[in-house]
Amino acid sequence: MHALTKDLNITDRLSQQLHFILETDKLKQVIRRNFIADASRRENTAEHSWQIILITLTFSEYAKEKNMDLLRVIKMLTVHDLVEIYAGDVFLFDEQANVGKYDNETLSAERIFGILPADQKEEFISLWTEFEHRSTQEAIFANTIDRITPFLLNSVNGGQSWTEAGVRVEQALNRLNIIEQGSDDLWDLFLQLIEVAKNKSLLV
């Protein structure tokens, strides 16, 4: 339990939930490789989580699956990066760093969601697993938004994280091909952004 709850007359359930909320505040301290749009600094994971939820609300009309459960997409995007509190952010194009990523994040999911009451732990782990396995149309669209967002930012901030890592066009096409499964319109946008990046020499 969090130290704060010792001074409060609340149920064990609310105590667990408060502990979870305060623990997840640490997501604001996780720095990602990607830069924000004006290239002034790197973003943190909490900012990324907020932005992909906002973009989902804005771009939901472009999903291939017109009858998808938008709330479920938002729930997945809300919880899926919380594992980075303990596992850290892994750059999409760093092949070596991605080795063992799923196992590390699975342990982190058990740890962070284990703070919650059992029913909420089960729900949040289920959402996280659904996202990771891309097992539903909702998970596919959630992954689509998660992938295209940093690509969009790199397209306007000079591609700093790309040039630092020497990201190649082939890598981008291979690692972001989930976008094609989630949205025809966003896949077309992505391909156009690829061409812009090539013309500006942002991708190798």
Q: Taking a C-beta distance cutoff of 8 angstroms, is the pair 121, 110 a contact?
A: no
Q: What percent of the chain has pLDDT over 70?
A: 100
- Residue 87's pLDDT band (cuts 50, 70, 90): very high
Cα–Cα distances in Å, from 58 out to 63, 144, 145, 179?
Answer: 11, 13, 11, 16
SS3 of 116, please?
coil
- Is pLDDT of 132 > 80? yes
- Which superfamily does CATH assign the domain made up of 3-199 to? Hypothetical protein af1432 (1.10.3210.10)
Tell me how crowded residue 190 is: count the other CB atoms within 10 A of its CB.
22
pLDDT score at 98: 76
Per-residue pLDDT, averaged over 48-62, amounts to 98
| CA–CA gap between residue 61 and residue 145 (Å, rounded) | 12
Q: Taking a C-beta distance cutoff of 8 angstroms, is the pair 32, 48 a contact?
A: yes
Query: What are the φ and ψ backbone dihedral angles of 44, each rounded to 5 degrees?
Result: -100, 165
| CA–CA gap between residue 63 and residue 194 (Å, rounded) | 20
- Residue 101's pLDDT band (cuts 50, 70, 90): confident
SS3 of 8, please?
coil
| CA–CA gap between residue 28 and residue 85 (Å, rounded) | 9
| CA–CA gap between residue 106 and residue 38 (Å, rounded) | 33
126, 86, 175, 98 alpha-carbon torsion, rounded to 10°: -120
pLDDT score at 3: 80
Tell whether pTM > 0.85: yes
pLDDT score at 107: 97
- Is pLDDT of 95 > 80? no
- Is pLDDT of 181 > 80? yes
Residue 156, token pair as written in the block = 């306007």
Of 119 and 94, which is predicted with more confidence? 119
Residue 97, token pair as written in the block = 């760093």
What secondary structure, in 3-state letters, does 73-114 show?
Answer: HHHHHHHHHHHHHHHCCCCCCCCCCCCCHHHHHHHHHHHHHC
Tell me how crowded residue 100 is: count the other CB atoms within 10 A of its CB.
11
| CA–CA gap between residue 120 and residue 126 (Å, rounded) | 10
Per-residue pLDDT, averaged over 23-41, amounts to 97
Per-residue pLDDT, averaged over 166-177, amounts to 93
Per-residue pLDDT, averaged over 134-159, amounts to 97
- Is pLDDT of 68 > 80? yes
